[in-house]
């Protein structure tokens, strides 16, 4: 691979899709000096973005939007014009899970067929959405079917590894930048685009957002074939999901033998070959990526005749983890009808308002179905939750943890928001009818909760119990 040594030159970029990946990529490409047009077919969303309003709860997004809107960054619904005027077109539209579990690529295909009609001069088409292997090849075929000459475009894969909640910093300070293409020309354009990050020049700017990279330690570039890049994305998410399911399975074993999963995870994670991250036992993974990507990756393997049951097992453990947690609530409260439960957290993880595939929403639904009343508090996800949880007298929302806990029979912790890990425990106890906390995120040490006078049930750790709990729990202590 030829490494770029020339000075930075801005590239005209079109990003199609203003969801998590598209919007963050568009704003960050503008931040590193490019001319960016972000396209979405949702007119109301485009209008709102033009007015500087962000549709998602994401740190630094409003700040960067305000910094670049009307300068290097614009929003439009007109894909053809935006594509015609750009050198590189990033496809960042949704690839939702279809009924079969495979990724639904119809949005990608629709975008590609529309781009085909606007190709005049060379274009680089870049897959940014999470897609199965060979999508690159399909994009090429679709363009050729629409009569576009193969000399006037290249297709490359450039997967994104950002996490919700830290998306902007993840984009600007990535662990690696993966570029999959066999074309030197495509590689050259993508290296120009990422030049400020790869060369480290961005990190030397006074206004640069701070993170793990710096001028002397810029992110590495991984240059591969398109197929390898596509698999790197799916395999990364699958591996992280496996890691979570692994620690959850070990947590269940820890419970059975009266060991402590936090000690075990610390002991495992200190092995530098394993590492400490993504070893937090809990309710299992949720969100718009891991569940969908694991299923899509499993199907990709099946289609290629590869037996990858390990992925299936990770999914099984993940779903059983929610059942186990629900059973912990039942065994602490005995029956649900007429009980009032304070639910802390609705988002699929802390620092986001996203509730897609959220274990918290699932648990709240089950409690309501079981006849309990639930009063939920989440710092950001209440509005979104109202649209998916039943409107019923049994379901209510609070403006704080303490309001939710007022007269409740128990508190359940469902999301790892930082504020839930720093509660005033004496105040919490005073609000509750019974001092019972069932923690699906292990936010407190057992000793702390015991000292504060709570019956405390968590994941993979001994239970701190008093006479308030049922017989089964007391035996488990």
Q: Which residue numbers are catalytic?
A: 289
| Contact string 164-203 vs ligand UGA (x = CB under 6 A) | x---------------------------------------
Q: Determine if 162 is a binding residue for ligand UGA (CB under 6 A).
A: yes
163 or 324: CB nearest ligand UGA: 163
Q: Of 16, 61, 64, 244, which one interacts with ligand UGA (CB under 6 A)? A: 244
Rg over alpha carbons for the chain, rounded to the nearest Å, is 24
The distance of closest approach from Cβ of residue 453 to ligand UGA in the complex, given in angstroms and rounded to an integer, is: 28
The distance of closest approach from Cβ of residue 468 to ligand UGA in the complex, given in angstroms and rounded to an integer, is: 28
20 or 153: CB nearest ligand UGA: 20
Those residues whose C-beta lies under 8 Å from the C-beta of residue 7, and which sit 6 or more positions away, are: none
Q: Of 240, 299, 300, 411, which one interacts with ligand UGA (CB under 6 A)? A: 240
Cβ neighbours, 10 Å, residue 78? 14
The distance of closest approach from Cβ of residue 170 to ligand UGA in the complex, given in angstroms and rounded to an integer, is: 7
Q: Determine if 420 is a binding residue for ligand UGA (CB under 6 A).
A: no
Q: Of 136, 181, 237, 458, which one interacts with ligand UGA (CB under 6 A)? A: 237
Separation between Cα atoms, residue 389 and residue 86, nearest integer Å: 42
Q: What are phi and psi of 376, to 5 degrees?
A: -110, 145
* Span from 110-118, 154-162, 395-403, 442-450 in contact with ligand UGA (CB under 6 A): 154-162
Residue 395 pairs in a beta bridge with 374
| Contact string 276-315 vs ligand UGA (x = CB under 6 A) | --xxx-x--xxx-xx-------------------------
Separation between Cα atoms, residue 243 and residue 237, nearest integer Å: 10
From residue 282, give the alpha-carbon distance in Å to each of 26, 48, 52, 251, 438: 34, 37, 37, 9, 11
Q: Determine if 61 is a binding residue for ligand UGA (CB under 6 A).
A: no
Q: Determine if 269 is a binding residue for ligand UGA (CB under 6 A).
A: no
Sheet holding 340-344, edge to edge: 395-397, 373-377, 340-344, 410-413, 436-439, 455-457
Q: Determine if 219 is a binding residue for ligand UGA (CB under 6 A).
A: no
Query: End-to-end alpha-carbon separation of the chain, Å?
Result: 60
Those residues whose C-beta lies under 8 Å from the C-beta of residue 85, and which sit 6 or more positions away, are: 12, 14, 37
User: Which residues contact ligand UGA (rule: CB under 6 A)?
Assistant: 130, 160-164, 237, 240, 244, 278-280, 282, 285-287, 289-290, 348-349
């Amino acid at each position: 691979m030829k490494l770029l040594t020339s000075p930075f030159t801005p590239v005209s970029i079109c990003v199609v899709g203003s969801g998590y990946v598209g919007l963050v990529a568009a704003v960050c490409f503008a931040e590193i000096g490019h001319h960016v047009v972000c396209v979405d077919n949702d007119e109301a969303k485009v209008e709102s973005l033009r007015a500087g309003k962000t549709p998602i709860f994401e740190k630094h997004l409003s700040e960067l939007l305000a910094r670049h809107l009307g300068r290097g960054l614009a929003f439009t619904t007109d894909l053809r014009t935006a594509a015609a005027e750009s050198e590189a077109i990033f496809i960042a539209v949704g690839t939702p899970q279809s009924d079969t579990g495979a990724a639904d690529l119809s949005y990608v295909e629709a975008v590609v067929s529309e781009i085909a009609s606007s190709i005049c001069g060379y274009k680089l088409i870049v897959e940014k959405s999470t897609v199965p292997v060979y999508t690159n090849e399909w994009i090429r075929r679709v363009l050729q079917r629409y009569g576009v000459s193969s000399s006037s475009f290249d297709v490359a894969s450039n997967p994104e590894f950002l996490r919700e909640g830290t998306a902007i910093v993840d984009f600007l300070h990535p662990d690696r930048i993966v570029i999959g293409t066999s074309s030197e020309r495509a590689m050259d354009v993508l290296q120009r685009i990422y030049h400020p990050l790869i060369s480290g020049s961005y990190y030397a700017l006074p206004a640069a957002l701070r993170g793990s990279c710096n001028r002397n330690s810029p992110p590495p570039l991984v240059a591969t074939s398109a197929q390898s890049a596509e698999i790197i994305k799916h395999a990364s998410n699958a591996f992280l999901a496996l890691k979570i399911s692994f620690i959850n399975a070990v947590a269940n074993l820890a419970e059975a033998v009266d060991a402590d999963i936090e000690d075990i995870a610390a002991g495992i994670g200190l092995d530098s070959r394993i590492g400490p991250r993504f070893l937090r036992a809990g309710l299992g993974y949720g969100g718009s990526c891991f569940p969908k990507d694991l299923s899509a990756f499993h199907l990709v393997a099946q289609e290629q005749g590869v037996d990858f049951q390990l992925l299936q097992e990770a999914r099984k453990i993940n779903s059983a983890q929610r059942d186990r947690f629900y059973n912990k609530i039942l065994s602490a409260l005995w029956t649900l009808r007429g009980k009032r439960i304070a639910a802390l957290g609705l988002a699929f993880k802390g620092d986001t308002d996203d509730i897609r595939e959220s274990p918290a929403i699932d648990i709240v639904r089950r409690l309501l179905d079981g006849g309990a009343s639930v009063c939920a508090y989440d710092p950001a996800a209440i509005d979104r939750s109202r649209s998916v949880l039943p409107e019923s007298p049994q379901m209510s929302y609070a403006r704080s943890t303490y309001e939710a806990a007022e007269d409740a029979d128990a508190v359940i912790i469902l999301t790892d928001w930082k504020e839930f890990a720093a509660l005033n425990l004496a105040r919490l106890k005073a609000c509750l009818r019974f001092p019972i906390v069932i923690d699906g995120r292990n936010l407190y040490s057992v000793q702390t909760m015991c000292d504060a006078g709570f019956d405390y049930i968590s994941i993979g750790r001994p239970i701190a119990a008093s006479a308030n709990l049922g017989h089964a729990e007391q035996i488990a202590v």
